[in-house]
Amino acid sequence: MSRVKIFDTTLRDGEQSPGVSLLPEEKLNIARLLEKLNVDVIEAGFPIASPGDFEAVRLIANEIKDVEVTGLARANKKDIDRAWDALRNGTNPRIHVFIATSPIHMKYKLQKSAGEVHKQAVEAVKYAANYTKNIEFSAEDASRSEPEFLYRLFEEVIDAGARVINIPDTVGYAVPHEFGNLIKGIKENVSNIDRAEISVHCHNDLGLAVANSLEALENGASQVEVAVNGIGERAGNTALEEIIMALYTRKDYFDFEVVQDTTCIARLSKMVTNLTGMLIQSNKAIVGDNAFAHEAGIHQDGVIKERTTYEIMDARTIGLKENKLVLGKHSGRHALRDFIAELNYDLSEENFEKIFVKFKKLADKKKKLQPIEIEALINSQLKKKNNIYELKYLSVNTGIDLLPTATLKLEKDNKVLEKAACSGDGPIDAIFQTINEITGLDIKLQSYRINAITEGRDALGEVYVKSSIDGKIYLGNSAQTDITEASARAYLETVNKHMYYKGER
């Protein structure tokens, strides 16, 4: 049985989702869980794009030992040098070089002839080969490129040293049968294709990313590029969890060995949702809240009698199981440390100590803490690193026939800034108004969502905020027992992201 290589681009293409910006340490935590799940390649960023991207690629390349780590580079020396600088001390580095090959991209975007693009691609791969033998070459917008042009180009880049040839459906235009034929054509018409692997990178603009990827695998591709929860540019990328579970559940049909640890999937999905602030729809395949829920009586009855009547997958396979682990006020450092390791977070000693102090405070109030509550503590600690404004005090006054008023104290550069503001649109809006006034920023709220994530009266409320600042979109989220505090923190996170990345991207 052959095996499919899983190339994860959550941290590069996924991070290009509108509003998503991950800190290097947040990316490292996701990378560690991807390593545990046993992906083959992690694309950690686009080193030349920003100092943050460079740092994330460097950090992940140095820390992750069992998985290949790659960084993206356009087909020029400067990009390749920068990518290699980030990757060079890693255990398994790969350089990923790309150039657009479709007539429309070459003419309008690159303003180059096909001959010039061909030459530039081959030269770039030759240049990268001075650094490493592990080179992936991508023909951007391949699905809208001339097949004959691709065949000749691939032959030469393979000769120049490319080990992986990636065929992206960059704009999500392909349909399965046609995309499969493109792969088949490459397999049959590129004379030296036996020296390279064929990879595919599909986008989901028509909802066909997973279908196109599977069709490609059946026609000779052996690597699929995916992102957790299917995040990525526009409608996103091929979803990691859907590809792995399709291959796993339909082993009878696909003749591929699945070596990934599927039980990491639920955790990974949750971690990516938490750290990116990108919520997924309830009916999302595999990882949506309703993916294993049965509503119709006939279905429920069937599942109780025999699970497989209406379930093709067991929730436990993706790691969804009753979590028996509960921490309480008597739990000490050791228990908390084990608990955090179980959640697959890796923290510095300093961060751990800070979380421990907050944990003790919360456990005094709540007696028993669920994993999700511990995770909320971890996330707010990880995010602290880029906090330019810190929430120090919050008070809200509201009621029927009262004009809601919020008073906030925010700390910036060791100075406490205090203001109060009111709003006819409710207490949450009053909080946001106050933050706008203190920061002096023109922040526009785009969306606001709140979910109860644990049960009972002392449930945690998780707030997701999307805001636009200076025309850029930012996502923020926070989980607290007090929803006014969660709202303030989520909104403030978008402000902090804006301040942190200002000038960078």
Q: How far is the CB of 36 from Zn ion (least distance, A)?
A: 24
Q: How far is the CB of 501 from Zn ion (least distance, A)?
A: 21
**Selected range binding Zn ion among 13-21, 42-50, 106-114, 384-392, rule: CB under 5 A:** 13-21
Q: What are phi and psi of 237, to 5 degrees?
A: -105, 175
Q: By CB under 5 A, tell whether 373 contacts Zn ion.
A: no
Distance between CA atoms of 129 and 162, rounded to whole angstroms? 8
| Nearer residue to Zn ion within complex by CB, 13 or 429 | 13
Distances (CA, A) of 160 to 132, 153, 376, 419: 12, 10, 48, 63
Nearest residue to Zn ion on Cβ basis: 13
| DSSP letter for each residue of 325-353 | --EETT--HHHHHHHHHHTT----HHHHH
Instruction: Name the residue with tokens 């941290």.
Output: 11
**How many residues sit close enough to Zn ion to count as binding (CB under 5 A)?**
1
**Selected range binding Zn ion among 8-16, 262-270, 278-286, 424-432, rule: CB under 5 A:** 8-16
| Nearer residue to Zn ion within complex by CB, 208 or 336 | 208
Distance between CA atoms of 181 and 51, rounded to whole angstroms? 40
To 5 degrees, how large is the angle CA 93–CA 99–CA 103?
160
Which of 13, 55, 215, 242 forms a contact with Zn ion (CB under 5 A)? Answer: 13
Inter-helix orientation angle 77-87/51-63, to 10°? 40
Q: How far is the CB of 83 from Zn ion (least distance, A)?
A: 17
Distance between CA atoms of 487 and 476, rounded to whole angstroms? 9
| Nearer residue to Zn ion within complex by CB, 13 or 25 | 13
**Selected range binding Zn ion among 10-18, 159-167, 187-195, 385-393, rule: CB under 5 A:** 10-18
Contact by Cβ (8 Å): 432, 465: no
Q: How far is the CB of 495 from Zn ion (least distance, A)?
A: 29
Q: How far is the CB of 307 from Zn ion (least distance, A)?
A: 37
| Nearer residue to Zn ion within complex by CB, 15 or 68 | 15
Closest CA to 72 of 57, 62, 60: 57
Write out the two tokens for 504.
């960078």
Q: How far is the CB of 40 from Zn ion (least distance, A)?
A: 18
- Work out whether strand 443-452 and strand 461-469 pair parallel, antiparallel, or are unpaired: antiparallel
Distance between CA atoms of 302 and 442, rounded to whole angstroms? 54
**Selected range binding Zn ion among 9-17, 343-351, 355-363, 365-373, rule: CB under 5 A:** 9-17
Q: How far is the CB of 168 from Zn ion (least distance, A)?
A: 6
Beta strands in 220-307 (DSSP E): 223-226, 256-257
Q: How far is the CB of 321 from Zn ion (least distance, A)?
A: 33
| Nearer residue to Zn ion within complex by CB, 209 or 264 | 209
Q: Which residue type occupies 44?
A: A
| Nearer residue to Zn ion within complex by CB, 90 or 172 | 172
Q: How far is the CB of 164 from Zn ion (least distance, A)?
A: 15
| Nearer residue to Zn ion within complex by CB, 71 or 319 | 71
| Nearer residue to Zn ion within complex by CB, 43 or 373 | 43
Distance between CA atoms of 37 and 39, rounded to whole angstroms? 6
Q: Taking the alpha carbons of 283, 286, 288, 290 in that order, is the dihedral positive or negative?
A: positive
| Nearer residue to Zn ion within complex by CB, 142 or 264 | 142
Q: How far is the CB of 145 from Zn ion (least distance, A)?
A: 15
CA Rg, the chain, in Å? 24
Distance between CA atoms of 361 and 339, rounded to whole angstroms? 17
**Selected range binding Zn ion among 11-19, 152-160, 326-334, 472-480, rule: CB under 5 A:** 11-19
| Nearer residue to Zn ion within complex by CB, 172 or 371 | 172
Residues that bind Zn ion (CB under 5 A): 13
